[in-house]
Amino acid sequence: MISVEFLSLRSLLAPPLAALFALLTLCVFLIQTPRSTGIKIPLLRLHHRADQFTCDGRWEFIQLLDDGRTKINADEVREDNLASIIGKTMKWRADRLVYVVPSSGIPYSRLVDTLSRLKTEVPDIHIGVLTGKVRDRFIDRSNWPDLPCEIEWPPGEF
Boundaries of domain holding 19: 1-32
**Are 25 and 49 in a shared domain?**
no
CATH number for the domain that contains residue 85: 3.30.420
Find the DSSP H helices in the chain.
2-30, 82-90, 108-121, 132-140, 147-150
- pLDDT, mean over the chain: 78
Look up the pTM and report it.
0.64
**Are 92 and 121 in a shared domain?**
yes
Indicate if the pLDDT at residue 158 is higher than 60. no
**Are 24 and 89 in a shared domain?**
no
Nearest to 47 by CA among 140, 137, 156: 137
**Are 26 and 91 in a shared domain?**
no
pLDDT, tens digit, for every residue of 51-90? 555 555 677 889 999 998 999 988 899 999 999 999 998 8
Contact assessment for residue 71 and residue 106, using Cβ atoms and an 8 Å cutoff: no
pLDDT, tens digit, for every residue of 15-29? 888 888 888 888 777
The H-or-E segment that residue 51 falls in is none
Domain assignment present for residue 87? The answer is yes
Residues ≥6 apart with Cβ < 8 Å to 50: none
pLDDT, tens digit, for every residue of 118-156? 999 988 888 888 887 777 777 776 555 566 666 777 776
Structural domain tally of the chain? Answer: 2
pLDDT at 148: 67
pLDDT at 14: 82
For 139, the 3-state DSSP assignment is: helix
**Are 56 and 26 in a shared domain?**
no
